[in-house]
Structure 1
Amino acid sequence: MRALSRKTQTMGLIGWLMLAYIAAAIGAIASIEAASFYQSLQQPSWAPPAWLFGPMWTTLYGLMGIAAWLAWRERGARPALVMFVVQLSLNALWSWLFFVWQLGAIAFIGTVVLWMLILITLVMFWRLKPLAGVLLLPYLAWVSLACALTWSVWQLNPQILG
């Protein structure tokens, strides 16, 4: 670990959490009408209830911010943090693709690419600080579910999600 003062570490944690929650806010703006739109779509029987998405994503963004902070504290973290920001950007874009622009195929491809970027980020973080990688495991699991759900909802609603 790099020698960082307590103040620097605290500011770093705040900064990485802010970045994660800014991405969340960008996605949330696109999701303002998501609940009613999502409920209007045919869903697979295994789809999680709509109320679960908010608390789950809030938790996951917190874990992402902490994971990034843990990685940031390590020497040689720059490539992993660049990958983190890239995947975080795609994460924020997904809500726009699906809920606003209703592009089912592109949203599905986006989840597949996001899953791969998360896996790469997880491995890179793990190599820097294993706990940082572990903190991304719930995110990878949730995006695995989101990938399957995006595919299923798109296939069940071709007239809406093209």
Structure 2
Amino acid sequence: MTVKKQIIKMTLPLAGGLIVGALTSKAQDDYKQYEQPPLAPPPAAFPIVWPVLYTGMGVAYYLADRYTTDKSVKVSHYAQLGLNYLWSILYFNLKLRGTALIESFCLLAAGLLAALIFYDHNEIAGLLMTPYVAWLAYASYLTAGTIKLNHDKPGFSRDF
């Protein structure tokens, strides 16, 4: 594998995350506008946490995929990554909050599956996915909590 391909594998999640971040640039305003559940982080946490998680995910994918031809590594990685990017669009841009909640549980399952597959190919890769999977569980809690607290507010959601 060329150095260029190695770098692409490691940085693609972060690059995609930056693009989705730009597409959902009003997310911070949306987050501040509505009541948040207990244990919700301050808005400033998200631009710190996500680049770290995306970088860890990219390194994990590179390590898991480095010496295998098993397509499950690639399929699981890109499936969960696509679901990850989709969540922000559903929740912030389209305001399909209920759909985003269902999608968040699918994303959590896909992230966990990817972590387990990565672990089977490279233990460090699987362990690198642990903070990401934990954050996905936390994000599902935040999504559900925000919906519960705000579902009846005008303009909050288009699918209630």
Give the TM-score taking structure 1 as reference length: 0.90
Aligned to 2:135: 142
Letter paired with 1:94: W
For 1:153 and 1:124, the matched residues in 2 are separated by 32
Gap regions ≥5 residues in structure 2: none
Q: Deviations over 1:18-49 (max 9, x none)?
A: 32123202320232011111100111131011
In the comparison of the two structures, how many residue pairs are matched? 155
Aligned to 1:127: 120
Aligned to 2:55: 62
Residue among 34, 42, 51 paired with 1:49: 42
Aligned to 1:22: 15
Detail structure 1 runs of 4+ shifted over 6 Å in the superposition: none
Letter paired with 1:116: A
Aligned to 1:116: 109
Q: CA RMSD in A?
A: 1.3
Residue 91 (structure 1) aligned with residue 90 (structure 2): no
Aligned to 2:70: 77
Aligned to 1:100: 93
Gap regions ≥5 residues in structure 1: none
For 1:157 and 1:13, the matched residues in 2 are separated by 43
Aligned to 1:157: 150
Percent identical across equivalent pairs? 32
Matched residue of 1:13: which SS? Answer: helix
Q: Deviations over 1:44-71 (max 9, x none)?
A: 1310111001110000000010001001
